[in-house]
Amino acid sequence: MADVRVICAIGQSGQLGLDGQLPWEGARERAFVEDVERFFEITQGHVLIAGPKTTASFPDFVRRTRTIVEIRRSDDPQNILARFADRVVYVGGGPAVWDVYAPFVRHWDINRMPYDGPADRWFKPEWLVAVGAQR
């Protein structure tokens, strides 16, 4: 079984996304810039699976330095993860993806950002205790 992990960033109330982007997209303060840099650093060399909107948001250099797999609801999560049995697999979201893949996740890395504005995608704490598919 793959070593399945998540790195995500949330606002103070669990904000995840807004209009297809990060809610704080474009913010230049250090906390936001460092968060994105850290995500790209840690996922380097590993497998990154995500829904179509999330994969579309990755810049080109990210595609060259890790294995990106766009996943669809028609994919069987067990089959997707079985393809990368000896790899670290980061599940990149969005929420509909985490709803299904959360039971497989061994390690959650959640960075709380200094943002408490609007969002249309939200973190669900129940993902952290989703039971069913762990090794």
Closest by CA to 79, choosing from 133, 5, 7, is 133
| By the rule CB under 6 A, 38 interacts with ligand NAP | no
Strand partners, 3: 88
User: Which of 2, 4, 17, 89 contacts ligand NAP by CB under 6 A?
Assistant: 17
Half-sphere exposure of 9 (CA within 13 A, CB side): 21
Of 80-119, which residues contact ligand NAP (CB under 6 A)?
A: 92-97, 100
Distance CA 79, CA 89 (A): 13
| By the rule CB under 6 A, 48 interacts with ligand NAP | no
Q: Which stretch binds ligand NAP (CB under 6 A): 8-16, 58-66, 81-89, 124-132?
A: 8-16
Task: Name the minimum Å distance from CB 89 to ligand NAP.
Answer: 13
Task: Name the minimum Å distance from CB 40 to ligand NAP.
Answer: 12
User: Which of 47, 71, 81, 91 contacts ligand NAP by CB under 6 A?
Assistant: 71
| By the rule CB under 6 A, 8 interacts with ligand NAP | yes
Interface residues toward ligand NAP, by CB under 6 A: 8-9, 16-18, 20-22, 50-54, 57, 71-73, 75, 92-97, 100, 121
